Copies of this chain bind each other. A is one copy, B any other.
Amino acid sequence: MRRIMLVVAYDGTNYCGWQLQPNGRTIEEVLNCELSRILKEDIRVIGASRTDAGVHALGNVAVFDTSARIPGEKVAYALNQSLPEDIRVQCSGDVPIAFHPRRCHTKKTYEYTIYNHKFENPIGRQYAYFFHHPLHVKRMQEAADYLVGTHDFKSFCNIHTQVEDTVRTIYRCEVKKDGSLIKIQIEGNGFLYNMVRIIAGTLIDAGTGVLAPADMLTILAKKNRDAAGRTAPARGLKLVKIAFDRVDVCL
């Protein structure tokens, strides 16, 4: 038995997220199905990040076990032949059998994209949240700065979470303007359920002036979901990268 790792990019628009669902097509289901067909075994992938319905990824990570003899790096080529065009494996390779993508230290990078313009842009609408009220990027960055560091992010977590420890470390949170696009890049050691989307919704409130940047301190201190802004829509969110601190599993 060997363990193979995949770096997977997908357009989440037409999926009910990563994780297997009784009703609705998911990324995990498509990967299991295509890998089982190609390798003629019952394959079950384990994903590093179980992204929500409609969320995109450039580099989600999954592993699976197989006794097949295919060279690890060839799995990407074989899989891409038969995957639907909204899922593409970016690379593949062998990893130690003990490696579990959710049980090791990682640094995850997400990007939330806002299209801030008077009218919607149909081109790329699947990958950005359209928000027509002008946003003040500098104020958004000032608010974002309060999130960097180790904090209890309970206020930025969907109340339906089962997680008990809501302390996370944010290494970087940058708000960048590129024409009418505003991109929130956020890097951390882990993210709670809906955390990036609630942060995006709250930074938008800072950008419109509904919140002052320093209000982020109060919001964090309250440890109450109601204190933060709304959950920004899934379509603007993209899992960019997952970095593992073990060099031997970096492809």
A interface list, Cβ under 8 A from B = 9-11, 56, 58, 76, 80, 85-91, 119-125, 127, 238
A86 to B124, CA, bound (A): 10
Tell which of B80, B123, B127, B238 touches A119, judged by Cβ atoms closer than 8 Å. Answer: B80
In chain B, what residue has the closest Cβ to A238? B123
A121 to B10, CA, bound (A): 8
A11-B125, A85-B125, A125-B85 known; A120+B56 contact, CB < 8 A? no
In the complex, chain B residues whose CB is within 8 Å of the CB of A9: 119, 121-123
In the complex, chain B residues whose CB is within 8 Å of the CB of A80: 119-120
Does A122 contact B89, Cβ atoms closer than 8 Å?
A: no
Does B76 contact A119, Cβ atoms closer than 8 Å?
A: yes
In the complex, chain B residues whose CB is within 8 Å of the CB of A123: 9-11, 56, 58, 127, 238
In the complex, chain B residues whose CB is within 8 Å of the CB of A125: 11, 85-86
What are 22 A-B pairs at a CB distance below 8 A? A9-B123, A11-B122, A11-B123, A11-B125, A56-B122, A56-B123, A58-B121, A58-B123, A76-B119, A80-B119, A85-B120, A85-B125, A86-B122, A86-B125, A88-B120, A88-B122, A89-B119, A90-B119, A91-B119, A123-B127, A124-B124, A124-B127
In chain B, what residue has the closest Cβ to A56? B123
Does A85 contact B124, Cβ atoms closer than 8 Å?
A: no
In the complex, chain B residues whose CB is within 8 Å of the CB of A58: 121, 123
In chain B, what residue has the closest Cβ to A91? B119
Extra 7 A-B pairs, beta carbons < 8 Å, given A9-B122, A76-B119, A88-B120 = A56-B123, A58-B123, A80-B120, A85-B120, A85-B122, A88-B122, A123-B238
- Min CB gap A251→B, angstroms: 13
- Min CB gap A172→B, angstroms: 20
Most chain B beta-carbon contacts within 10 A, residue among A9, A76, A88, A122: A122
- Min CB gap A39→B, angstroms: 19
Tell which of B10, B11, B85, B122 touches A87, judged by Cβ atoms closer than 8 Å. Answer: B122
A122 to B121, CA, bound (A): 19
A103 to B50, CA, bound (A): 55
In the complex, chain B residues whose CB is within 8 Å of the CB of A124: 124, 127
